[in-house]
Amino acid sequence: MSLHDELTAAQRCLDDLARCISRLEKHVGSGLEIRRVRSDTEHLKESLALLGATAPRPRAEPHAEMVTISDQPYDPGLWTDVDDEGLGARDRHAP
């Protein structure tokens, strides 16, 4: 995953945590413990936002230029001096 994806996933998890804490608060009331957990969650959200603000931005990938290759046969003159790979030159025999 990319850094941006990881930060987004962490933000989603913190949002889920905040919703769970709200549901817990309905069951246990708003005592000191639940306020501490809610406060810690808010601190985590702030810290993650700061981390996201200072994280390096993804660099844009250079756009690859499309090269069209013709279906026409190549000029045989291009291959006159070329050695066939593994076979050697055309006018010589293998040892």
pLDDT tens profile 36-78: 999 999 999 999 999 988 888 777 777 888 888 889 888 888 8
Report whether pLDDT(88) > 70: no
Place of tokens 């000191």: 32
Q: State residue 43's pLDDT score.
A: 95
Q: State residue 36's pLDDT score.
A: 94
Report whether pLDDT(86) > 80: no
Q: Return the biggest CA–CA distance within the chain.
A: 94
DSSP-derived secondary structure for 14-60: HHHHHHHHHHHHHHH-S-HHHHHHHHHHHHHHHHHHHHHHHSPPPPP
Residue predicted with more confidence, 74 or 12: 12
Q: State residue 42's pLDDT score.
A: 94
